[in-house]
Amino acid sequence: MQESNHRAPKDFAAARSASLTFCLSLLVFCGSGDAAAPAPEPPGDAVEKLPEISQLPDPFLFTSGRRVDNRKQWRKRREEIKEILLRYEYGHTAPAPEKWSAREVSSKTWLGGRMTLVAMTLDTGAGNSLDMAVHVYRPAGDGPFPAVLNIGDDGSKAAVAFARGYMLVTCSPEVDLDPDTEGREIAGPAQLACPTCDWGSLAVWAWGASRAMDYLQTRRDVQSDHVIVRGHSRMGKAALLAGALDERFAMVAPNGSGTGGASAYRVRSSGAETLASITSPKRFASWFQRDFGRFGDRVDRLPFDQHWLLALVAPRPLLSTEAEQDRWANPRGNQAAVEAARHVYRFLGAADHIGIRIRPGGHENLDEDWHATLDFADWKLFGVATRRRFDHRWDTNYTPTYDWSLP
């Protein structure tokens, strides 16, 4: 049995005091020195007062009306975009906990002895209030290994990762921190721990992935500067959000993430899931900031679109893996968002660090999707050439209609 206790590294302490704080006596999320910032105002009825923007909004345009014209300014704009997305769409993630601990629960051989599966529990809140399972599928040898952190406890791709020289790690925030529900708002451990937080489930799950990353940074067998955050479908949305917010993730790989993930709301394939549909109280309103559904029939009033979320990852590698027949996940909107976000990548000198891979078939999480992700990772993180293409277009007739371009 291993046990370790940790204090947040310095830069997280700084980020914590700078961020909107959710200081509660219940939790040790916030240090006592933090000045409590006012809770963000939910957009509420103000949706009607927001300007109509029919095109994909300009990611380089500050709210003040000024435009980014150098890379240093992009860092500032990035912070502004983050706050806009959290305020309107996902709700704010809590700061990193000041203290947390990891406990080994079990360890057994896996894949006929070629790997060890180590089950850990991370205690990220006061009094075990926020425990989360983390499973490490550890190849034989000392490492350190690059790793894929999968949101969701799915070990079925351990062999694929292993064969490609990557360690697989899974975490389960959708079970342990905020249980996934459809059409039911429940107060899961995260909401109970922080009743004044406005985070929806996707933000909680992304926060959980960052806590798993805290832990991976302490493992000597992990190359913590080469961790890819990945997830499928709803967990793809969470993985994208985690990678957008937490720059410790070296690469971000949403699979079939669709609406609320890597697909634009304003550009749709026929049959694609809409904002109104995903935020319906009968479906997944609880994944988002509670007022986000008010944009259901006013998508043109959204101050942003999902290319802004993708742009937060820049210039780190980002690959969206999609499927031709997965219309519900809005492949046309995905293409539009990636192509629009590429302007930010290009601005930062990394135009080919963002890609789309589209395979035949439907909404699944296949070995083939993992191989594509790991080919991209080998290329972008380790300089290994690949013959695979990552510039697929689902709709070759799609032409962007926005009138902004590189500063």
CB of 237 to ligand GTR, least distance (A): 6
Of 59 and 261, which CB lies nearer to ligand GTR in the complex structure? Answer: 261
CA atoms of 122 and 116, how far apart (whole Å): 19
Site for ligand GTR, residues 276 to 295, rule: CB under 6 A = 278
Q: Where are the alpha helices (DSSP H) in 22-101?
A: 71-85
Q: Which of 125, 188, 258, 331 binds ligand GTR (CB under 6 A)?
A: 258
> How many chain residues interact with ligand GTR (CB under 6 A)?
6
Q: Which of 307, 173, 313 is nearest to 243 (CA)?
A: 313
One-character DSSP codes across 265-334: SSS--TTPPPHHHHT-TTTTGGGS-TTGGGGTT-GGG-S--HHHHHHHHTTS-EEEEEETT-GGG-HHHH
Of 233 and 373, which CB lies nearer to ligand GTR in the complex structure? Answer: 233
Q: Which of 132, 137, 134, 133 is nearest to 147 (CA)?
A: 137
Q: Residue 109 belongs to what H/E stretch?
A: strand 99-110
CA neighbours within 13 Å on the CB side: how many for 115? 24
CB of 182 to ligand GTR, least distance (A): 8
CB of 158 to ligand GTR, least distance (A): 21
- Sign of the C-alpha dihedral, residues 299, 304, 309, 310? positive
Of 245 and 278, which CB lies nearer to ligand GTR in the complex structure? Answer: 278
Of 157 and 234, which CB lies nearer to ligand GTR in the complex structure? Answer: 234
Work out whether strand 115-123 and strand 354-359 pair parallel, antiparallel, or are unpaired.
unpaired
Report whether 345 contacts 310 (CB < 8 A).
Answer: no
Q: Which of 396, 380, 374 is nearest to 324 (CA)?
A: 396
CB of 362 to ligand GTR, least distance (A): 11
Site for ligand GTR, residues 187 to 216, rule: CB under 6 A = none
Residue 349 in 3-state DSSP? coil
Residue 339 in 3-state DSSP? helix
Site for ligand GTR, residues 151 to 170, rule: CB under 6 A = none
Site for ligand GTR, residues 216 to 245, rule: CB under 6 A = 233-234
CB of 152 to ligand GTR, least distance (A): 10
Q: Tell me phi and psi for residue 172, to 5 degrees.
A: -125, 55
CA atoms of 258 and 270, how far apart (whole Å): 13
Site for ligand GTR, residues 260 to 279, rule: CB under 6 A = 273, 278
CB of 258 to ligand GTR, least distance (A): 5
Distances (CA, A) of 230 to 234, 244, 290: 11, 12, 25
Of 273 and 305, which CB lies nearer to ligand GTR in the complex structure? Answer: 273
Q: Which of 21, 201, 224, 259 binds ligand GTR (CB under 6 A)?
A: 259
Of 68 and 235, which CB lies nearer to ligand GTR in the complex structure? Answer: 235
Of 370 and 402, which CB lies nearer to ligand GTR in the complex structure? Answer: 370
Applying CB under 6 A, does 339 fall inside the site for ligand GTR? no
CB of 313 to ligand GTR, least distance (A): 19
Distances (CA, A) of 64 to 39, 77, 306, 385: 22, 11, 21, 43
Residue type, 53: I
CB of 382 to ligand GTR, least distance (A): 31
Of 128 and 325, which CB lies nearer to ligand GTR in the complex structure? Answer: 325
CB of 286 to ligand GTR, least distance (A): 13
Site for ligand GTR, residues 60 to 119, rule: CB under 6 A = none
Of 283 and 298, which CB lies nearer to ligand GTR in the complex structure? Answer: 283
Footprint of ligand GTR (CB under 6 A)? 233-234, 258-259, 273, 278
